[in-house]
Amino acid sequence: MKRIGFILKVRAELVEEYKEHHKKVWPEMLEALSRTGWRNYSLFMRPDGMLFGYFETPESFEAARAGMADEEINARWQEMMKPYFEALDGAAPDQAMLELEEVFHLD
């Protein structure tokens, strides 16, 4: 299992609204994440909107994102989430995730 950490930046003025959306993620989106191998997925956020995400996947970050790219529900979710993020440069949020290098792990 590959452990993945990534960061994104939520617009500070939209942090509370962003959190509300994640209290009620669409069931179809949750099913798609599970179907495409996203496991133990968590999001953590500082008050200023800096977002850290973590998940585990069988293969790689690229394979996990590619799996979700084939899911129609993901396209709809990403379009809805797009206004919440800074510095996307036209990309969907899931394509702008900056993968972090794992430098330590205690099992």
Q: Which of 35, 30, 22, 27 is nearest to 80 (CA)?
A: 22
Catalytic residue status for 21: no
Q: Is 82 exposed, middle or buried (0-12, 13-18, 19+ CB in 10 A)?
A: middle
Annotated catalytic residue, options 3, 22, 35, 76: 22
Strands laid side by side in the 98-100 sheet: 39-45, 50-57, 2-9, 98-100
CA terminus-to-terminus distance, the chain = 13
Indicate which residues carry an active-site annotation: 22
